Amino acid sequence: MLKISAVALLASAMLASLPVLAQTRLTIPNANVSASSSDSNLPVNANDGSLATRWSADATNGAQWLQYNLGGCYKISYANLAWYSGDSRKYNLSLKISNDGNTWTDVFNGTNSGTTAQLKPYSFADRSARYVRLQATGSNVNNWVSLSEMEIWTNGAGSCSGLNPNQPPGGNFDLSIWQLQLPVGSPGSPETKTPSQLEGGYTSAYFYTDTDGAMTFWCPETGVTTPNSDHPRSELREMNANGSAANWDIAGTHIMNATVKVVKVPSSTAIGQIHIGTALQSGLPSSTKPLLELYYRSSGDIVLGIENSPAGGQTPHTLTNIPLNTTFTYQIKATSSTITVSINGTPYSFPLPQSFIGYGEYFKAGNYIQSNGTDPNNGALVKFYALNVSHN
């Protein structure tokens, strides 16, 4: 969980005194710090409260960035930055903010003063944001970006989502290409809701808008399952605009972006998938397996499970750790050669098992719980603040 430390508590800290621009400084967990790249000077060094360490990245081949996930929506007043050798180097920099980790707005463009290596404010009018990104292209000395420390200061809670808590999910999200599967119905035959029903305002105890506007998926461990699974779900399945089931060729580039928060989970739940559809080439055996599943564990671990082949056998890859009840972004990207999953902007890439070539695929998103039980009050609760897909 993020904490907010008061100015009075910071007065005795080792860093330079702060100007009176905002009331509170956000304390960012290291798990919420990411970067485009680094050398041995890691991104978390810019978040450790010490000017003796730094984050460094080579911008020879393009701009490099350092990103903080604030863990919630805040009115951002300014960023305090301390540059490595900032008393002799001028870095070309920009500060960007985002509500979803995908669309960014510049709030500052310019350089540092080149006269101090201490913390100095880069201020702007209050803007609501969940993410802050520092981007730079090097300095007047070389192409390296080296930042000793970054602090984010706030004037309180902001309003980021643009989501209306008084609307059903279909009033806040484009659900015209999604079908919903629910954890209720007959054993082996769970209920589904069509895109037109979702667009028309469907809501239930398992799929609803929460008080913060989030599209919320509740799935108890007691829910009914499909014939091919032992676990229930409250989950969206990608469809085509004409209402038919999506079944795209892996050739090309296919992307799903989401902003999510897992509020409750007994052990594990899948919050995103690419699933096999029907074969596009003759002679291929049918399969009911996913290509990949993105899991959130109760420990906070984000785990990507990649199926070894359409016949089954999944290999897990632990990507990072995000504390429970923390908002984060994920992107699932697939091409005919590579699977890339990005968490809070940090990419993790793996080769695509070539045995999946020739099969149709589709995206899934929501709450596919990975456990069963007898208590209807025990289950997983997952919130979505943004969801979109694209195909090229």
Handedness of CA 97, 168, 322, 25 (dihedral sign): positive
Give the span between the Cα atoms of 16 and 120, in whole angstroms.
9
Which residues partner with 128 through β-bridges? 75
48: number of Cβ within 10 Å:
16
| Predicted confidence pLDDT, tens digits, the chain (392 residues) | 444 443 333 333 333 334 445 468 888 888 889 999 999 999 999 999 999 999 999 999 999 999 999 877 888 889 999 999 999 999 999 999 998 888 899 999 999 999 999 999 999 888 889 899 999 999 999 999 999 999 999 887 777 777 888 999 999 999 999 999 999 999 999 999 999 999 999 999 999 999 889 999 999 999 999 988 999 999 999 999 999 999 999 999 999 999 899 999 999 999 999 999 999 999 999 999 999 999 999 999 999 999 999 999 999 999 999 999 998 889 999 999 999 999 888 899 999 999 999 999 999 999 999 999 999 999 999 999 989 899 98
Comma-separated ranges of CATH 2.60.120.200 domains in the chain = 169-391
Looking at 1.10.3720.10, 2.60.120.260, 2.40.30.10, 1.10.4160.10, the CATH number of the domain 3-157 comes to 2.60.120.260
Give the span between the Cα atoms of 329 and 255, in whole angstroms.
13
Q: In this predicted structure, what is the pLDDT of residue 100?
A: 81
Which parts of the chain fold into alpha helices (H)? Answer: 7-10, 169-172, 195-199
Q: In this predicted structure, what is the pLDDT of residue 31?
A: 85
Q: In this predicted structure, what is the pLDDT of residue 163?
A: 84
Report the b/e string of 352-373 with b at 16+ CB within 10 A.
Answer: bbeebebbbbbbbbbbbbbbee
The residue among 308, 350, 321 whose CA lies nearest residue 333 is: 350
> CA 265 → CA 72, 203, 217, 342, distances in Å?
20, 21, 12, 22
Q: What's the token pair of residue 257?
A: 């972006």
Query: How distant is the alpha carbon of residue 358 from its chain centre?
Result: 29
**Residue 208 near residue 378 (C-beta atoms within 8 A):** no
208: number of Cβ within 10 Å:
16
Three-state secondary-structure class, residue 289: coil
Give the span between the Cα atoms of 309 and 96, in whole angstroms.
41
Q: Quick one: 204 exposed, middle or buried, by C-beta within 10 A (0-12, 13-18, 19+)?
A: middle
SS3 content of the chain, % helix, strand, coil (to 5): 5, 55, 40
374 Cβ partners below 8 Å, 6+ apart?
A: 221, 222
Q: Give first-to-last CA distance, the chain, whole Å.
A: 37
CATH code for the part of the protein at 169-391: 2.60.120.200
pTM of the model: 0.69
Counted residue by residue, the chain has a size of 392
Q: What's the token pair of residue 60?
A: 């020879």
> CA 109 → CA 57, 91, 142, distances in Å?
19, 11, 19
Comma-separated ranges of CATH 2.60.120.260 domains in the chain = 3-157
32 Cβ partners below 8 Å, 6+ apart?
A: 2, 68, 69, 70, 71, 322, 326, 328, 344
Give the span between the Cα atoms of 213 and 149, in whole angstroms.
34
Q: What's the token pair of residue 108?
A: 């500052």
DSSP string computed for 165-181:
TTS-HHHHS--TTEEEE
